[in-house]
Structure 1
Amino acid sequence: MYKYIKVAAGVIALAALVPAAASAVTGGQGGAGAACTSDGSEPTGHLLAKRIEKDINEALKGRDSVASVALYDRKTGIACAYDENRQQDAASVIKPVILGALLFQSKGPLTGEDDALARKMITASDNAAATTLWKKLSDLTNPSAPNPVKIQEFLDAAGMKNTILDKEGFWGLSQVTAADQLQLLKVFTYNSDTAAPVLPQEARAYALELMNHVQSDQRWGAPAGAPQNAVVHVKNGWLRRSDNPGVDPYDRLDWKVNSMAAFTGDDYDYGLVVLTENNRVPDGHPAESGWIYGIGTIEGVARAVHHDLYPEQSSSRRLQPTPQNLVKQLKLQPHQPR
């Protein structure tokens, strides 16, 4: 929440499906760091942009996680990006993409089975529901390798140019970027009359409503530190790669931990995406410790962003799941290729 190791909602990828991000375990983040801009709509916009830029970099400093970050805030005119076009396994953050494609194809409100499946897929990160909808939106000429042509149509319409959909039915192996996932949040929260929306208002409201009702033990990550009076729309994804000899050494047993959220209500209108990998499990530590580390990286960035944008309203809460909830969520990882 992909040919199949039935573990819990994460994924494992074959080397051929992995972007050439690294050929060995190097640890830590490279690149030039975060870059934030202001559209000038606020007199203090430039200073705020520089502060957020600095604090994102500080939040990632010293972390072993390799992260990509994307942020927009329509109210302040702030936009931030940090390695935002780097591709990595989606895990369950592909599920809002499936939802968007379903709404795009339906041309109206979802009813009956589609509604039930969409709700299970988003609010409970149900993998069987996601697989059913993936197939519904695919060319099944080869049933063992569904071609998600209708999902691609939605990506094209939404301007999500760097997302690569898996063509073997392992939807969690699809490659996503922080920039494209942020674009999806913009599609869901679109509120302008200047151009025709990708999705009609009713469909956008439906998507946001489902993401607002994600079950409580899956609401960690990007919402950490968010204003307590904001309406939160979140979806997370997590997976641990296999130790299969065919998997690139960089990816073996690595945790991929992702979080995306939009914040609305009470004059809020912003979105944050943080994708992470290189969350290793130290020798002798429980398998889930890499997952917890990735969540910590995401929440460090999130708390910095929320505090800088809305210092008087932001919360200091950490949202990391309890050990009991971690065990429960481990059962939600997507299937993995052998």
Structure 2
Amino acid sequence: MSTARRRPARICAVAAAIALACVACSSGAAPAHRSSSGPPSGTPTSTSAPATSTPPATPSTRPATTSHGPSAAQIRAAKRVRALAGARGHSGYSVAIRDTTTGATFSTGATSGMYEGSIAKVDIAETLMLQHQQRHTALSSSDRQLVTAMIEHSDNNAANTLWTREGGREAVGKANATLGLRHTTLGPGIYWGFTRTSATDQLALLQALVEKHGPLTDASQYYVLHLMRNVESDQRWGVATLADDPDDTSLKNGWLASSLDDNRWLVDSLGIVRRHGHTYLMAVLTQHGSSFAGGIDLVQDIARAALPGV
């Protein structure tokens, strides 16, 4: 991966001061090691994980509805998304968008069963913050280095260490119950990247980073969002491309060519996007793709096609 973008000293100082005063501490310098752009170590490429751990996701062809049924705009958006995925041979996709300005929400596609890849790192980060809130403790220097490397540089070894340190599947599962995830099944053992989820559950993770009086304190929210705004420049694709300023988007992407899916690609993107005076929580998940580059293009095209449905 490319070298991380330089962050203004003033922004880093503010993040450090606020986080130290409450639950999290300063972002710290990331370890010299950077992960490659290849498969996460938390998502094995061998077939040692059980082949039955992820049943195929079956996309819904209809958008999520209210008591009055889907609007015409939602129906059109769902059809556009389905056509885009179908034209490129993708049978697995899940999309959810919430406009925090109006409260409107749109979702379509699979309601479970979507591989996470490296977007699982947001879940690991929020679990870490919740644990320290509950213990009334600040993050250690080691914690700060690891979570910075995990989010900003998508470092898989850092994610492995934090996943284990937090307590693995049991601990993250408890955090997910608090955070409101209802359709997420954590990966076996250390394999956090084989966690199965839905786009609506990923919106719950994003919602926890912005809502007032939610499970995360203001300081915890600020800290995680600060890290997500500073992901490496070569990872600033996906939903960030819809933002007025992609460099000011809190973002996490995931990608993996999985041996459990005939080495086909999952490509996922989630983030908080500011566009034309509105703030959107966005999650676009795809799987069964033939290439990484094609997956990126599909995620970005789906995000554009789905946005009018909100």
Please report the TM-score for the alignment, with normalisation by the length of structure 1: 0.70
For 2:239, give the aligned amino acid.
Answer: A
Moved over 6 A (4+): none
**Aligned to 1:112, which of 135, 141, 148?**
141
Aligned 8 A contact 1:36 1:50 in 2: no
- Structure 1 equivalent of residue 223 of structure 2: 206
- Structure 2 equivalent of residue 275 of structure 1: 285
Structure 1 pair 21–105 and aligned structure 2 pair: CA distance change class (3 A): same
- Structure 2 equivalent of residue 283 of structure 1: none
Q: In 2, distance between residues paired with 1:166 and 1:18? A: 8
- Structure 2 equivalent of residue 18 of structure 1: 53
1:300-311 aligned at under 5 Å gives the runs 300-306=301-307, 308=308
- Structure 2 equivalent of residue 186 of structure 1: 207
SS class of match (1:223): helix
Q: In 2, distance between residues paired with 1:98 and 1:301? A: 26
SS class of match (1:295): helix
Structure 1 pair 89–56 and aligned structure 2 pair: CA distance change class (3 A): closer
Aligned 8 A contact 2:59 2:110 in 1: no
Structure 1 pair 259–148 and aligned structure 2 pair: CA distance change class (3 A): same
Q: In 2, distance between residues paired with 1:50 and 1:7? A: 36
- Superposed displacement of residue 261, structure 1: 0.9
1:135 aligns with 2:160: no
**Aligned to 2:125, which of 85, 92, 99?**
99
Q: In 2, distance between residues paired with 1:229 and 1:215? A: 12
Q: In 1, distance between residues paired with 2:238 and 2:110? A: 17
Unaligned runs of 5+ in 1: 23-28, 40-44, 139-146, 281-289, 311-338
Aligned 8 A contact 1:230 1:264 in 2: no
- Superposed displacement of residue 309, structure 1: 8.0
For 2:303, give the aligned amino acid.
Answer: A
Structure 1 pair 123–82 and aligned structure 2 pair: CA distance change class (3 A): same
CA deviation profile, 1:188-225 (whole Å, cap 9, x unmatched): 1113xxxx411011101111111110011001112223
- Superposed displacement of residue 53, structure 1: 4.0
Q: In 1, distance between residues paired with 2:236 and 2:298? A: 15
Q: In 2, distance between residues paired with 1:105 and 1:83? A: 33
Q: In 1, distance between residues paired with 2:89 and 2:107? A: 19
For 1:135, give the aligned amino acid.
Answer: T
- Superposed displacement of residue 59, structure 1: 3.8
Structure 1 pair 7–73 and aligned structure 2 pair: CA distance change class (3 A): closer
- Superposed displacement of residue 296, structure 1: 1.4
Aligned 8 A contact 2:63 2:74 in 1: no
**Aligned to 1:152, which of 151, 170, 173?**
173
1:262 aligns with 2:272: yes
1:122 aligns with 2:139: no
- Structure 2 equivalent of residue 296 of structure 1: 297
Structure 1 pair 230–169 and aligned structure 2 pair: CA distance change class (3 A): closer
- Structure 2 equivalent of residue 215 of structure 1: 232
- Superposed displacement of residue 153, structure 1: 1.6
Q: In 2, distance between residues paired with 1:254 and 1:272? A: 24
The structure whose residues are more often helix, as a share, is 2
**Aligned to 1:60, which of 79, 82, 85?**
85
Q: In 1, distance between residues paired with 2:96 and 2:143? A: 30
Cα RMSD for the two superposed structures: 3.0
Aligned 8 A contact 1:55 1:305 in 2: yes
Please report the TM-score for the alignment, with normalisation by the length of structure 2: 0.76
- Structure 1 equivalent of residue 258 of structure 2: 241
- Superposed displacement of residue 297, structure 1: 1.1
Q: Work out the number of aligned pairs and report it.
A: 266
1:24-103 aligned at under 5 Å gives the runs 31-35=60-64, 49=74, 52-65=77-90, 66-103=92-129
- Superposed displacement of residue 75, structure 1: 1.4
Aligned 8 A contact 1:35 1:81 in 2: yes
Aligned 8 A contact 1:74 1:269 in 2: yes
CA deviation profile, 1:62-100 (whole Å, cap 9, x unmatched): 231221111111213321111242212211010000000
- Structure 1 equivalent of residue 38 of structure 2: 8
For 1:156, give the aligned amino acid.
Answer: A
Q: In 2, distance between residues paired with 1:199 and 1:190? A: 8
Aligned 8 A contact 2:269 2:299 in 1: yes
Q: In 2, distance between residues paired with 1:58 and 1:38? A: 26
